[in-house]
């Protein structure tokens, strides 16, 4: 198990290559979950058009037959707490405005089940997300991206089935106010001694 305060890379792996890397700090690690935090001011790496946003950047299907370049950018404004659970087709991310500590939302990021790799959590974003507001109402995000990814052959049928099962599970957890939708993390704050981490050694080794 990793220890609180360890720097862990949150990585997206696409076509056996790095798609993004965000250095995070380990909050808690156990057989049932790995919890990380991403702090504003952290230097990250992603496909070079990522910082331009989805409207101006390149989407993943553009790179089915093309290579991509990585570029550094700085994570700003929001503090994230990321909850990874083994074998799940999603992670649950809590967002706060770091400056005023306002809780913004739960963010269900549908993804491949994560793998531990050296000092990294490796997965692949599956292009569709669910935003759960503080009052626990919700809205879907990036449905068109998900449909485009399917049309380009980037989402395998088994992955779609995984997302469908994950959606049923999330809705049941939400309806019953089960962890982490029970509010148990809402007052959490990072250790004041923690600073935005730098990219760890071997961040690019797969």
Long-range contacts (CB closer than 8 Å, 24 or more residues apart) made by 164-173: 165/89, 166/88, 166/89, 166/90, 166/110, 167/130, 169/88, 170/90, 170/108, 170/130
Pure H helices in 43-137: none
Res 64: pLDDT: 83
pLDDT digits (tens, 9 = 90+) for 28-72: 999 999 999 999 999 999 999 887 766 556 788 888 888 899 999
For the cut 80, the answer to whether the pLDDT of residue 9 exceeds it is: yes
Cβ contact 75:39 at 8 Å: yes
Whole-angstrom distance, CA of residue 18 vs CA of residue 68: 10
Q: What is the mean predicted confidence (pLDDT) over 162-168?
A: 98
Asked if residue 184 belongs to a domain, the reply is no
Average pLDDT, the chain: 94
Q: Is the peptide bond before 112 cis (omega within 30 degrees of 0)?
A: no
Q: Which of 54-58, 116-120, 137-141, 198-202 has the highest mean pLDDT?
A: 137-141
Asked if residue 199 belongs to a domain, the reply is no
Whole-angstrom distance, CA of residue 128 vs CA of residue 159: 12
Asked if residue 137 belongs to a domain, the reply is yes
Whole-angstrom distance, CA of residue 18 vs CA of residue 4: 25
Which tokens sit at 160? Answer: 């779609």
Domain CATH code at residue 11: 2.40.380.10
| pLDDT band at residue 201 using 50, 70 and 90 as cut-offs | confident
CA angle 120, 55, 79 (to 5 degrees): 40
Q: What is the mean predicted confidence (pLDDT) over 151-173?
A: 96
- Rounded percentage of the chain residues whose pLDDT exceeds 70: 97
Whole-angstrom distance, CA of residue 126 vs CA of residue 104: 22
Res 124: pLDDT: 97
**Rounded to 5 degrees, what are φ and ψ at 73?**
-150, 165
| pLDDT band at residue 97 using 50, 70 and 90 as cut-offs | very high
Asked if residue 192 belongs to a domain, the reply is no
Which tokens sit at 138? Answer: 């919700």
CA dihedral 141, 143, 144, 145 (to 10 degrees): 80
- The number of distinct structural domains making up the chain is 1
For the cut 90, the answer to whether the pLDDT of residue 20 exceeds it is: yes
Asked if residue 206 belongs to a domain, the reply is no
Asked if residue 122 belongs to a domain, the reply is yes
pLDDT digits (tens, 9 = 90+) for 129-157: 999 999 999 999 999 999 999 999 999 99
Res 56: pLDDT: 59
Res 50: pLDDT: 80
Asked if residue 160 belongs to a domain, the reply is yes
DSSP H or E stretch at residue 159: helix 157-175
Asked if residue 190 belongs to a domain, the reply is no
Tally of residues, the chain: 206
Domain assignment of residue 117, given as a range: 7-175
Q: What is the mean predicted confidence (pLDDT) over 168-173?
A: 98
């Amino acid at each position: 198990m990793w220890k609180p305060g360890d720097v862990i890379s949150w990585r997206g792996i696409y076509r056996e290559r790095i798609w993004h890397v965000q250095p995070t700090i380990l909050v808690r690690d156990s057989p049932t979950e790995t919890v990380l935090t991403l702090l504003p001011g952290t230097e990250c790496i992603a496909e070079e058009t990522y910082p331009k946003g989805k409207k101006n950047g390149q989407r993943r299907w553009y790179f089915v037959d093309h290579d991509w370049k990585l570029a550094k950018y700085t994570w700003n404004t929001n503090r994230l707490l990321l909850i990874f659970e083994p074998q799940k087709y999603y992670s649950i991310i809590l967002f706060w405005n770091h400056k005023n500590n306002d809780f913004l939302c739960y963010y269900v990021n549908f993804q491949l089940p994560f793998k531990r790799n050296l000092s990294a959590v490796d997965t692949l974003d599956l292009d569709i997300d669910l935003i759960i507001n503080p009052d626990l109402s919700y809205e879907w995000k990036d449905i068109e991206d998900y449909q485009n990814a399917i049309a380009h052959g980037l989402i395998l049928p088994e992955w779609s089935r995984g997302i469908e099962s994950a959606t049923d599970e999330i809705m049941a957890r939400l309806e019953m106010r089960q962890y982490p939708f029970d509010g148990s993390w809402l007052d959490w704050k990072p250790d004041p001694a923690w600073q935005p981490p730098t990219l760890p050694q071997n961040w690019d080794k797969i």
